[in-house]
Structure 1
Amino acid sequence: MQLYVIGVNHTTAPVQIRENVAFNSEHLGSALRELTSHDATEAAILSTCNRTELYCSAENSDKPLQWLSHYHKLDTSSIQPYIYTLPNDEAVKHAFRVASGLDSMVLGEAQILGQFKQSVKIAQDAGTLGTLLHKLFQRTFEVAKEVRTNTDIGANSISMSAAAVKLAQRIFGDISQQKVLFIGAGEMIELCADHFAAQKPKSMMVANRTLERGTALAEKISSQGIKAQAILLNDLPDRFAEFDIVITSTASQLPIVGLGMVESAIKARRHRPIFMVDLAVPRDIEAEVAQLDDVFLYTVDDLAQVVTDGMASRQEAAVDAEVIVTARVENFMQWMKKRDTVPTIKALRDQAELTRQAELEKALKLIQKGESAEKVLEALSNALTNKFLHAPSHALNQAHGDEHAKLEDVIKQLYHIKS
């Protein structure tokens, strides 16, 4: 079995492709069990707005890729140009870099580590982690901690949430007079709410599938002295026109904000602009909305330019981080190689044990017949010595030329024989 990472990310595929292979976290467990039932022996799936990656142990990469296509009802050829397949040491290095924030759209961002850990927990709960992936992820999180402890990779890092605020300020200037709508109530929306709340907007609203979770976030916002309420997603069409700024990030597989809803809102607002950021993959807002006048719609890919602030210092830190990653990859590959020799070592020990037991039985029978202990021990030691040395001696006698010289060196190394 080989270790593979198979996936797409923000550097290889646009959001239009990434949303087609994204996984809903609620369905990850069943998807993993399906993957490991036929196409892989171990698996975990990391699916965020910027990437979807399969981490798996499999005979080859073809079956997991075919499974990914089949699961999402896609033709493999339609996603193949965007897919990267990383085997063994490349897969290990990729995992270390992703968790350390070295492969993120925002270099050094910390949120990916929490997302990675959550994905591993889901795989563990689903029972799809074995010795190899368990060890890989254990080392991955250790490396991420080492990188963040010993480098400044996270310094001067601007998050996607902060980037959304900066873009809003470019449109409205001071956003203290704007009304903000958050669609969803997950981790990303909560981070965005904190950043927008710091700007003291006129009001903030949370629209969520369940009122309970939306209300909890609204209450948290209100505790910062800002007027905040919660509504259900079903109430959006009637309330959408009220808001100047819309930030959305849900796990919905279908768009929540359609073209018709926004067109109606623009008309009701008498063409006052609406600033919208869609942080979801798959997207929450229909792509056609971007074509409307008076609408400023940004996706996660559109935020790339904003998040480059402070990049220079983080790139310097990234050099040091890459050194750490490279060293740790080498350590992990040594562990993998040792793991591959376990069956051979076991077979060697089993064979030696069978030989020992056979000679021991002969010795016990001789003692039972009255032979002296000294004579029996002498015979036992000679027999064991001859049996254990027969295979290497025979192989050395049969070898010729370069093969003989190489085998002789190996035997000297194994038995610590000095020339």
Structure 2
Amino acid sequence: MTVLALGLNHGSAPLDLRGRFAVPLDALGERVQGLRQHLARAQPEVAILSTCNRTEVYVGLPALGASACPRHAMELAEPAIEWLAAQGGTAPAELRHHSYLRAGADAARHAFRVAAGLDSMVLGEPQILGQMKAAVREADSAGALGTTLHQMFQRSFAVAKEVRSRTEIGSHAVSLAAAAVRLAQQLFDDLPRRRVLFVGAGDMIDLVATHFAAQKPLQMTVANRSTERGRLLAERLGAAQLPLAELGQVLGQFDIVISCTASSLPLIGLGAVERALKARKRHPMLMLDLAVPRDIEPEVARLPDVYLYTVDDLAQQVQANGERRQAAVAHAEAIVSAGVKSFSQWLDQRASVPLILALQRQTETWRQAELAKARRALARGRDVDAVMDTLATALTRKLMHGALSELHGSAGEAHQQWADSLQRLFLRDTA
């Protein structure tokens, strides 16, 4: 098997294009099965990772070892590219322009770096590891996670754990949630007098809301499609709860609006924000849209009294503040490289399994044939020692015949290679 990683992320594609490929967690299993059926002829293993920063397809396909050539990898990946392009409603050519393709060891390196937070908008952010584990569980539940992808992901989790325990990546990571609070403090120097609305109740909102709660704003409110999940988050934060359907009616009451849902269409439109600003008598609003696809229509950014930031904007704020620690990165990359080397060796060993099985079948055929001859000779009354000597000689000649024929029939560099191989295989103790 070889592994392919095909995807687009914050570095390769703009926010709105990424939004077209985003897959909600509860739809991952269905998408995994759809891709697997599309690639049915190749009998693939499949997993899909989708976050606000990336959508990636991991595919295990038959190939030779860990290092399939780029051309061969592209041929194997072409059906996956076509399928993914269709999911995002775009042309394959556009997807190729904004995506990346990794094969074999490079695909493993990519997965390991993603799990460790080295490929994230915010260096070392811990959320991606949980998101990757959830993606793997969905693929496994869908029956699409075979031995190769299972091995790669388990090793990626181990590498991520080692990176966090042996380097300072984790301790220096500044989450988007912390960046959101810092941005709010820059705009409003009196957060304890501000009202904050959280739209959604998923992991990102949970994290951001926890950071904001530490600043003790005047009021916090949670609006979510699922009333029960919204209620649980509101109770934990000591916040009020708002039905999502009433969002447009009360939007103007809030100074800070933070939204991150799995909606495929914007929940907050230009008209609703214009009405909210009118009700606020043009007092400014900070709006943070952390969703992919967007929850807030991008045209809102043109309004003079609204400060609208996307998840990409927040990442740029984090990087501009110098959170990257190069020494920790170098140490983490070394851990990743060691993990990639180990996985590549495992892949190569698995590629040798058919050859090993064929050799075992061949030698077993020889053994059975020579044993049958020996039993017939013994039945005819031949001397036991003579029969054993004939058996041993025949097996030895069969085992050596192919190698010696290649040695005698070769010349120049090939002859020397065969001589060196035979030396290592049969004369190791005498070298």
Is 1:147–1:324's contact at 8 Å kept on the other side of the alignment? yes
CA shift for structure 1 position 373: 2.6
Shift of 1:289: 1.0
Question: In the alignment, what sits opposite 1:128?
Answer: 144
CA distance in 1, matches of 2:321, 2:124: 11
After superposition, the C-alpha distances for 1:252-298 in whole angstroms (9 at most, x for unaligned) are 11111111211111112211211110111011111111111211110
Rounded to whole Å, the distance in 2 between the matches of 1:413 and 1:310 is 57
Instruction: Please state whether the residue corresponding to 2:361 is helix, strand or coil.
Output: helix
Q: Percent identity?
A: 48
Change (3 A) 1:312 1:339: same
Select which of 374, 380, 391 maps to 2:391: 380
Q: After the TM superposition, which of the residue ranges 124-133 and 369-378 deviates more from structure 2?
A: 369-378
- Describe the shift of the 1:310–1:146 C-alpha distance in structure 2 as closer, same or farther (beyond 3 A): farther
Which residues of structure 1 form unaligned runs of 5+? 223-227
- The CA deviation at 1:309 is 6.7
Letter in 1 for 2:179: A
Which of 197, 200, 204 is 2:220 aligned to? 204
Q: Is the CA contact (8 Å cut-off) linking 1:184 and 1:249 kept in structure 2? A: yes
**1:225 aligns to what?**
none
Confirm or deny that 1:242 pairs with 2:242.
no
Deviation at 1:370, TM superposition (A): 3.0
2:49/2:57 contact within 8 Å kept: yes
Amino acid across the alignment from 2:237:
I
Offset of residue 310 of structure 1: 6.3
Q: Please point out which of 184, 188, 194 is paired with 2:210.
A: 194
Which residue among 55, 58, 63 is the counterpart of 2:61? 58
Q: Which amino acid aligns with 1:323?
A: A
Aligned match of 2:68: none
Are 1:46 and 1:52, in contact at CA under 8 Å, matched by a contact in 2? yes
1:390 aligns with 2:406: no
State TM-score, norm by structure 1.
0.95
| Partner in structure 2 of residue 412 of structure 1 | 423
Q: Which residue of 2 aligns with 1:93?
A: 109
Q: Whole-Å Cα distance in 1 between the matches of residues 29 and 394 of structure 2?
A: 56
Counterpart of 1:305 in 2: which secondary structure?
Answer: helix
TM normalised by structure 2 equals: 0.92
Check whether the contact 1:157–1:311 (CA below 8 A) recurs between aligned residues: no
Instruction: Work out the number of aligned pairs and report it.
Output: 414
> 1:233 is aligned with what amino acid?
L
Distance 1:325 1:310, change over 3 A: farther
Is contact 1:100–1:108 with CA below 8 Å preserved after alignment?
A: yes
Match of 2:235 in 1: 219
Asked if structure 2 preserves the Cα contact closer than 8 Å seen for 1:155 and 1:313, the reply is no
Between the aligned partners of 1:131 and 1:270, the Cα distance in structure 2 is: 61
Q: For residues 391 and 43 of structure 1, do their structure 2 counterparts lie closer, same or farther at Cα, with a shift above 3 Å needed?
A: same
Matched, 1:366 2:377: yes
Is 1:163–2:183 an aligned residue pair?
no
Distance in 2 between the 1:13 and 1:107 partners?
18
CA contact (8 A) 1:7 1:83 kept: yes
Q: Which of 307, 317, 324 is the equivalent residue of 2:328?
A: 317
In the TM superposition, what is the alpha-carbon distance from 1:312 to its structure 2 partner? Answer: 5.5
1:266 aligns with 2:277: yes
Structure 2: which amino acid aligns with 1:238?
Q
Q: Which residue of 2 aligns with 1:341?
A: 352
> How far does residue 111 in structure 1 lie from its aligned partner after superposition?
1.2
Aligned to 1:27: 27
Query: Who is 2:84 aligned against?
Result: 68
Distance (whole Å) between structure 2 residues aligned to residue 191 and residue 327 of structure 1: 32
Please list every run of at least 4 consecutive aligned residues from structure 1 whose deviation after the TM superposition is greater than 4 angstroms: none
Checking the alignment, whether the CA contact within 8 Å between 1:205 and 1:231 is kept in structure 2 is yes
Per-residue CA shift, 1:121-150, capped at 9, x if unaligned?
Answer: 111111111111111111111111111111
Contact 2:38 2:83 in 1 (8 A): no
| Residues 87-112 of structure 1: per-residue CA shift (max 9 Å, x gap) | 11211111111111111111111111
Query: 2:286 maps to what in 1?
Result: 275
Q: CA deviation at 1:313?
A: 6.1
Q: Which residue of 2 is the match for residue 38 of structure 1? A: 38
Describe the superposition over 1:170-193 as per-residue Cα deviations: whole angstroms up to 9, x where unpaired.
111121111111111011110011
The alpha-carbon deviation at position 5 of structure 1 amounts to: 1.1
Q: 2 CA distance for matches of 1:339 and 1:77? A: 34
- Aligned-CA RMSD value: 1.6
Conservation of the 8 A alpha-carbon contact between 2:407 and 2:415: yes
